[in-house]
Every structure is written in C-alpha cells, then in structure tokens.
Structure 1
Amino acid sequence: MVRVTMCAEVLKDLPSWLNYLTSVDARRGPDGRPMKAKPGAIPAALGNLLGRFVLLSATYSVLATGRHTRFHYTYTPFMDAERMMEWDEATIHGKYMDWELLAHLADSWVACIVIYLYLALVIDIGGFLVLLQGVEPIAGFNNPIFGSSTPTDMWGRRWNMQMHGILKRACFLPLVKRGAPKQLAGFATFVASAIYHELQFGFAFPGYTYGQGSLFFLLQGVLCVLEALVYKAVPDAGKSVPRPIKCALTTLLMTTTSELFVG
C-alpha cells in the first residue's frame, strides 16, 4: 500500500494550496518571498485570459474542417487526412512534390501555434488563480513562435517558463554546481525533458510512436549546444543580422523538426 502525504506547508492556507494545485509558481524577490501583485494586475490578467480563449476558439474553429492527422488533431488546413497518409508513404520512398513539402511544413507550423495557444491558456488559468491571492505569477510564455531569435532564446526565455524553471532548478543548476560544463548540463536538461514528455505523450496519446518526442527534445538539445559553442568561438556571430531575419530563420528551423513534437 502506498501512502501519499503532503507537506504541511502545502495545506497551511488557501494561497499555498492553490499554488500547489495549479503548479504555477509565483515570482519571487531577492529574499525568496513571493512578489505582491501590481495594482490593476487582476483586470489585465482577466482580459488577457478571455482574449486568449477567444483567439484559441476562433483559431481551432477555423481549422476544424474534419481533416484529421493520425492523432485525430485538426491542425492540417493544407493537407487532409487522405493526403497525409499518402504523404507518409511518399516520404518513405522520397516521392513528393516541392509544394507538398511546403504544405506539410505549413501544417506543422499551424500545429505549433495551436498547441502554444492551448498551453498558454492553461497556464494563464492557473496564473490567474495565483494572482487572485495577491501574488504575481511567473508568465507561461513570451511570444515563442514569432519572437525567438535563436533556439536558446526560445527554450531559455520564451517557451513554457514554468517548465523551464522546474528543469533549471532540478537538473541544470545542480549539475553546474557540481562542476559540469554548462553545455553538458544544458544537454542533460533536455534529456530530462525528453524523458518527461515521453511519459506524458505515451499516456496521453493513443497510437503515439515511442521515442518520437524524445528525439525532438534531444535534437533541440544538440542545436542549443551547437549554438553555445559557436558563440563561444565567435562572440559576434550573427550580431549584424537583423532580428526579424533571425526570428524567421529560427521559426523555419523549429518548424522542420516540429512534426516530431506535434505529430
């Protein structure tokens, strides 16, 4: 028999319980205490939450045209279910048209946007409950789809900052404190993320191809390590490239590997 116990700190009051329930952490000051919410934060957060809900609903309604991928998602406005099956077969044999490749990439990009909006909405709901207790929650996302200038910028500053904080505290910082190089600690963090998502996808998605999600996160880890090594060797690399171009190239790079994540 397994006995599940909770720390007394979790149940001592409503704010602590909500923080535990939602898994949304609060921003903390130099003293380690949660930061108080700014005046007007609740109405602003409510407006943002409702706006996110409307945007996600409208986006999904437009895409819900009865076209399904193998995981029964309706994220394929450019390729229907029959064409998706043909695409999989053509990919195996290397027989597809250039426009089909572009359409497939476009579908993957759309899927990334939908997943981003959905996850952001879920985290916003948890953050709003924390905000109601008078403390400021950590933002979930920071425009990762359109604002990321490099892979490291996306994973370190923009995508799912709640999960980023957990992995940083649980994996990256302990390894660095024990003398591991930052590049190695960073890659190990992606390995931990791969294991977590492998379990999550395996339970959540019937028909999931085991190892697919892990491959995605391991590839992202390799990209971030390579980026760090390039900047270490050439500190001024890419500084002359306008940020919009870097963001577009990063989006294209992520889209080419995103099918492993979005299915």
Structure 2
Amino acid sequence: MQIALIRLMTRDKYTLQSFTNFPLFSRSLRDFWGRRYNLQVGTVLKESIFQPLSLYISSRMIIALITFIVSGLFHVHIVLAVFDDTSSALSTFLFFILNGIVCCIEAYMGIQLPQPFGSLITHVFLLLTASMCIGHCTREATYFSVNVPPLYGNQWIPKLPIPSICPK
C-alpha cells in the first residue's frame, strides 16, 4: 500500500523501494544477500563499494569479500555505539566474514540447487550463524522490555489452556 500511495502522491516521480524481496525464496546465500534481503543497504554497498572497486580490482570475489568486510565494520560500529557491547564486536564481524567467504565459495563452485533444497540449506546456515550477529540483542536484559513483541500480553487474544499432561 505504501508503494502505491507514494506513487499516487508524487504522480510517479518517486517510488518506494521495498525493504526485502521475499527472502524466504532465496535459493542461495548469494541470492539472499544480493537480491532479497535489505535492498536499500545492498544498493548502497553495491553503488559505493562494489562498483567503484570493480574499476580497480578484476576479481569479483575479492570485491564481494571487501564489501562484506565493510558491512561487517558498519555492524560492529552499531554494536559498539548503540549497545556498548565490546564482547560481541568480534563475533558480529566474523558473521559477515563467514557469510562473505561462503558467498565466494558459492560463486566459485557455480552450483545451482533446486528451489526447496537450496532455500532449506540457505536458511539453516543463516539460522546457525545468526547468533553471531544478533546474540547481543538477545543477551541484552533490557532489549525485550523496551522492544516488546507485537500483541505480547494482550488480554483480548484467546489463549488455549495448557494440557494437564504438560509438566509444570
């Protein structure tokens, strides 16, 4: 609705770019980071780092790894500036290095997995490594009290009774 509203209000002079492009359909990690997740930041990294470096460096894999390193440094800055958590800085940086290395391996191997299997492998990898990047959010004691999940604790939502066979 927002995309349509922006186009109507500006008479097609401006469009609102979507934040994601169905990341659950990613068939590879390169597809996830390059074409599906966080499109605004991906566009900024592509236009400000990847494309200018491609004029000087011929290897696209090295340029991609440098781009992941810069993205990792940005995220480390957020961890240090917002959360003041020096213990999570290294793991956050390693998350992006690891994802960059795996993306380079995917590009080098050139294997295209079928849609359901590729999506499963991609998201299992992301779930296994996500704690490296967002662990500081889950360990922060005040995070969930300040950022309460939507509809948490609402009384008007019907709740099923807990079965008697469940341990207390």
Q: TM-score, normalised by structure 2?
A: 0.71
Displacement, 1:200? 1.0
Say what the alpha-carbon RMSD is for the aligned residues.
Answer: 2.1
C-alpha change, 1:251 and 1:131, in structure 2 (3 Å) is farther
- Which residue is equivalent to 2:59? 181
From 90, 100, 114, the counterpart of 1:211:
90
Displacement, 1:254? 1.0
Residues 192-203 of structure 1: pairs in structure 2 closer than 5 A:
192-203=70-81
- Which residue is equivalent to 1:222? 101
Displacement, 1:132? 4.2
From 88, 104, 123, the counterpart of 1:251:
123
Q: CA-to-partner distance for each residue in 1:176-204, whole Å, 9 max, x for gaps?
A: 11233111111000011011111011111
What secondary structure sits across from 2:16 in the alignment?
Answer: coil
C-alpha change, 1:151 and 1:213, in structure 2 (3 Å) is same
Query: What residue identity is the alignment partner of 2:53?
Result: L
Identical pairs, percent? 26
- Which residue is equivalent to 2:29? 151
What secondary structure sits across from 2:66 in the alignment?
Answer: helix
Displacement, 1:205? 1.4
C-alpha change, 1:130 and 1:184, in structure 2 (3 Å) is farther
Pair 1:45-2:2 in alignment: yes
Query: What residue identity is the alignment partner of 1:242?
Result: P
Provide structure 1 residue ranges, at least 5 long, that are not aligned to the other structure. Answer: 1-43, 48-127, 232-236
Pair 1:136-2:38 in alignment: no
Displacement, 1:130? 8.3
Counterpart CA distance in 2 for 1:129 and 1:139 is 12
Query: What residue identity is the alignment partner of 1:45?
Result: Q
Say whether the 8 Å CA contact 2:7–2:15 is kept in structure 1. Answer: yes
Query: What residue identity is the alignment partner of 2:115?
Result: R
What secondary structure sits across from 1:141 in the alignment?
Answer: coil
Displacement, 1:154? 0.3
Q: CA-to-partner distance for each residue in 1:230-260, whole Å, 9 max, x for gaps?
A: 01xxxxx33xx43112101111011111101
Query: What residue identity is the alignment partner of 1:260?
Result: M
Q: How many residues align?
A: 132
Q: TM-score, normalised by structure 1?
A: 0.47
- Which residue is equivalent to 1:92? none
Provide structure 2 residue ranges, at least 5 long, that are not aligned to the other structure. Answer: 136-168
From 39, 42, 60, the counterpart of 1:161:
39
